[in-house]
A and B are shown apart, each in its own frame.
Chain A
Amino acid sequence: MELLGLYNYWIVVFLMMAGFYVVIARGNLVKKIVGLNLFQTSVFILYISMGKVEGGTAPIVEKGITVYSNPLPHVLILTAIVVGVATTALGLALVVRIKEAYGTVEEDEIHRQDESL
């Protein structure tokens, strides 16, 4: 029972590793970016899980409520989500540019073209 309190973190580690695997093992650049986002969202869940307090409510001040969940991770992750979408947009723009220059978005084909130059 004691270990059940770690279930959230284990799922986070699993999701993180799924994203990590996609990033390092798959050759398609769009899929790599999806993997990066997978990884990113798992980190968000890690932070928000840590900030949850048993019996607490959303951190909006209200009369009669004494226990709130931790607002600080929420703030940090709010910033991180928006920064995340900015990096995703930049990455996807790079992918489109690579497609224009090489005619493919598969990593091994790009390498082959570079070597044959």
Chain B
Amino acid sequence: MLLSFLAVTAIAIVSLRDLFAVVMLFGIYSLLSASIFLVLDAVDVSFTEAAVGAGISTVLMLGTLALTARTEKKPAHLAWLPLLVVAITGAALIYGTLDMPRWGDANAPINQHVVPRYILGSLPETSVPNIVTAVLASYRGYDTLGEVTVIFTAGIGVMLLLGNGNSNRRRKKGGRKR
């Protein structure tokens, strides 16, 4: 099953020290999760994840690797405290899942309330056959506006961080070098 592949990839990502391999595995991880989304009927999410997660994220990370270090330093000691924290949090979350509705349950609370309204109403109201598109662009258009704002802010942040860095670096090269 695809989910088990995901778990194996995650273990490899945690244990490997060669960052290039880690980034490549992260690309595989994204592609695997895209296939899982496809199996779970989320076609729009699937191709977004394949393009953005497996594509753009991986390229960004490779670019960062080219500018920084290729391998990770070996940790001085095995970290017991984080392992303990992770184990306790994980156990609490697993305990929490016991109350979750079972997978594929049509009567689960998430599938009630506003969702039948979207499924029945979207075609007459927006004439868009894809319900996801109708909800994204019409019913919850403000979400998308907020998303654009976030991307705009992030873009400005990246430009400020790296654009300024370049001019500083040029200045530094003339004067002192770290």
We find that the number of chain B residues with CB closer than 8 angstroms to chain A is 92
- Count of A-B contacts with CB under 8 A? 276
CA distance A58 to B97 in the complex (A): 25
Classify chain A's interface size: 35 or more
Contact partners of B169 in chain A: CB under 8 A: 100
Contact partners of A15 in chain B: CB under 8 A: 6-7, 10
The 8 Å CB contact of B129, one of A61, A75, A82, A87, is A61
Q: Residues of B with Cβ closer than 8 Å to A?
A: 3-4, 6-7, 10-11, 13-14, 19, 22-23, 26, 29-30, 33, 36-37, 40-45, 48-49, 52-53, 56-57, 60-61, 63-65, 67-69, 72-73, 75-76, 79, 82-83, 85-87, 89-90, 93-94, 97-98, 100-106, 108, 110-111, 114-115, 118-119, 122-123, 129-132, 135-136, 140, 143-144, 147, 150-151, 153-155, 157-158, 161-162, 165, 168-169, 178
Q: List 6 A-B pairs, minimum CB-CB distance, nearest first.
A: A5-B102, A54-B104, A86-B154, A25-B82, A69-B41, A59-B131
